[in-house]
Structure 1
Amino acid sequence: MKTGKTAFDPTRRRLLRGTATVFAAGIGAGLLPDTAQAAKVSKAAMLYQTHPHGSVSCANCVHFEPGPSPSAMGACTVVAGSISPRGYCIAYSPRV
């Protein structure tokens, strides 16, 4: 058997450099945002109306965030401003 250096030679400097690199990458990854936040769109751009479109209304849309009561104004993840649960806009997407 041959004695001497092997392919894996963990010197102290190499170990410290590798540890510092992994640590820095971890910190850098922690500074990145998890998801991009899109800006909300105006009511006019989404053709928002305060009355339902047939049987379709904001109350049963995935983007609607209800207010404190079922009839109270809520919010929308797409449209800016307060949103009526009986409203409608072109961003409507039914809850499944």
Structure 2
Amino acid sequence: MAPLFYPLVFMNFLFAATTLCLARPSHLTAGATVVAAVVWIFGNGPLEGAILWRLNSAHGLTVSDLLSALALGIAMWGFREAGAWKPSPKRRRRLLNRRY
């Protein structure tokens, strides 16, 4: 049971990040989706599934790697929906604007 714990946590992180990015696209949620996709590529060990395309005897493209590709596509959509990165104008605090 212990070898499946971390891959399941990584998979839940991937699903939660992509769902949040689809629900509320922003730079933050799209960035979290990119991080989740990269973590999933390296942490999906026991949950990889069938090998679709073999690079060599030890490496290949698996079914679970397609989840990372889908998540990266959703992240790109989220970045596009969030628009250009514009720093917010500096807001002055009300207490500093009052004159006593």
TM-score by length of 2: 0.26
Higher relative contact order (CA 8 A, sep 6+): 2
Higher helix share: 2
TM-score by length of 1: 0.27
Computing the radius of gyration from Cα coordinates, the structure with the larger value is 1
